[in-house]
Amino acid sequence: MLWWIGGFAALLSLAAVIYLLLTLWAVGRWHPVLPERDAAATEDILCDWPAVSVLKPLHGDEDNLYSALHSFCAQDYPAFEIVFGVQRPTDPAIAVVQRLQAEFPALSLYWVCTEARIGSNPKVNNLAGILAACRYDTLVISDADIAVGPRYLRQICAPLQNRDVGVVTCLYRARPAATFWSRVLASQVNSLFLPSVLVAARLGPNIFCGGATMALRRGTLEAFGGLPRLANQLADDYWLGAYSRQLGQHTLLADYVVDTEVQEAGFRSFYQHALRWSRTTRSVQPLGHAFSFLSYPLPLVLLLAPWMGLWGGLPLGVVLLLRLVYHRQIMHKLSAGDSFGVALLGDFLGLWIWFHALFARHVAWRGSQFAIGADGRMGGHDGAKQ
């Protein structure tokens, strides 16, 4: 019996090593365009840039909201508007928008307030009010906390000239606030989530679609049924890409990388945030989530090593060395400075959170607890605060 367990442990350890080698390969072939370097990477390949409506759903005034929204107002792009949306007339984000309106009087900046509900997803409810105020047929949907470089819209909108492209999306680089748990969550984004998307995109057609950026034509949105089809989904961004692929279009993962600031005051907020992400993945890709424990190779091999007897130290040493090389590689690509110790803590906590997500039935979001059905649909919230 023990030899069978040892053989299985060795097989899983080999799979973990193979996954690390794949990440090294995928990240090595990746040439990200970072916000601070986007001017040098952008070529004007179009004669006529389409007018763009940028949709920005807002909820509260986070510490970096002004700087993030300011980066969208400072775009080097011929014709665009930004429509901000709130769901409460007392939302403090309104004051930030009004400040930007005063600073950029020549830009088309609008804000709308709507309390309409088309489903249980608060972000999609907000987007429904925003979309009604948008004038243009090229849409760029982006979360409130995203910061970009001045030629972001040129990078993102150019691929939409190919009619086979339904949605253009991109990855994001996490910038931690000055708290320890912000650093841990940022490390999980940069060292675990981002490379896993790159590996999946290299091995097959890209199915990732993230709320950091979703650029599409209005006709694509209307063709699959519009925002009401997303209104009860936890992973609204994923399903936006999936529904466009059902139309025969593909989801393009751009090389552009946007920034997001990660702000976690303590362990509880970190854990709830990470659990919601993992539970979201499980809701849309249950099989992929089930095998994603391989993306935490070091804690996995450490757990398996005792079952392999004297040979257990060999895969553990190989994985530790590869993890160090891979960490330095991804930090160089992102011009980031996450410490290796924090990255390892993120790995170990990530494996546990993956396990928890297998059984989690609720997620915390915007201060409320939402029930998640077996099909990934969101139920009503109970209003419980974080």
Within a domain: residue 377?
Answer: no
Same domain, yes or no, for 268 and 307?
Answer: no
Which of 150, 201, 189 has its CA nearest to residue 25?
A: 201
Q: Among 265, 284, 303, where does a domain finish?
A: 284
Rounded Cα gap, residues 195 and 188, in angstroms: 10
Other CB atoms within a 10 A radius of the CB of residue 367 amount to 12
- CA distances from residue 214 to 49, 68, 133, 221, 361 in whole angstroms, order as listed: 17, 17, 18, 11, 27
Same domain, yes or no, for 20 and 93?
Answer: no
Other CB atoms within a 10 A radius of the CB of residue 286 amount to 12
Same domain, yes or no, for 202 and 267?
Answer: yes
Same domain, yes or no, for 175 and 311?
Answer: no
Within a domain: residue 378?
Answer: no
Same domain, yes or no, for 173 and 254?
Answer: yes
175-189 pLDDT per residue, tens: 998 899 999 999 999
Mean pLDDT score of the chain: 88
Whether 234 contacts 378, CB under 8 Å: yes
Range(s) of the domain holding residue 295: 10-29+285-360
What are 294's two structure tokens? 């391989």
Rounded Cα gap, residues 343 and 176, in angstroms: 13
Q: What is the pLDDT of residue 370?
A: 63
**Domain CATH number, residue 139:** 3.90.550.10
Which positions of the chain have pLDDT values less than 70?
A: 1-4, 41-47, 362-386
Within a domain: residue 366?
Answer: no
Within a domain: residue 234?
Answer: yes
277-305 pLDDT per residue, tens: 888 888 778 888 888 888 999 999 998 88
Q: Rounded to an integer, what is the distance from CA 109 to the centroid of its chain? A: 25
> How many domains is the chain partitioned into structurally?
2
Whether 148 contacts 72, CB under 8 Å: yes
Q: Among 256, 284, 312, where does a domain finish?
A: 284
Whether 122 contacts 68, CB under 8 Å: no
Within a domain: residue 379?
Answer: no
Q: What is the pLDDT of residue 366?
A: 56
Beta bridge partners of 258: 172
Same domain, yes or no, for 203 and 101?
Answer: yes
Q: What is the pLDDT of residue 386?
A: 30
Q: Among 218, 252, 284, where does a domain finish?
A: 284
Same domain, yes or no, for 255 and 318?
Answer: no
Whether 34 contacts 173, CB under 8 Å: yes
Same domain, yes or no, for 266 and 289?
Answer: no
| Token pair 């057609």 in the structure block, residue | 205
Please spell the DSSP secondary structure of 192-257, one letter per residue.
IIHHHHHHHHHHSS-----TT-EEEEHHHHHHTT-GGGTTTBTTHHHHHHHHHHHTT-EEEEEEEE
Please spell the DSSP secondary structure of 29-77, one letter per residue.
T---B-GGGHHHH-----SSPPPEEEEEE--S--TTHHHHHHHHHT---
Spell out the residues 6+ positions from residue 206 whose beta carbon is closer than 8 angstroms to its own: 200, 250, 251, 252, 253
What are 223's two structure tokens? 């063709």
Residue 55 phi/psi, 5° resolution? -100, 120
- CA distances from residue 120 to 89, 233, 357 in whole angstroms, order as listed: 20, 8, 21
Same domain, yes or no, for 349 and 228?
Answer: no
**DSSP assignment letter at 335:** T
Same domain, yes or no, for 159 and 289?
Answer: no
Within a domain: residue 381?
Answer: no
315-348 pLDDT per residue, tens: 889 999 999 999 999 999 999 988 999 999 999 9
Same domain, yes or no, for 322 and 173?
Answer: no
Q: What is the pLDDT of residue 3?
A: 57
Within a domain: residue 338?
Answer: yes
Same domain, yes or no, for 261 and 320?
Answer: no
What are 127's two structure tokens? 């987007």
Residue 119 phi/psi, 5° resolution? -175, -165
Within a domain: residue 107?
Answer: yes
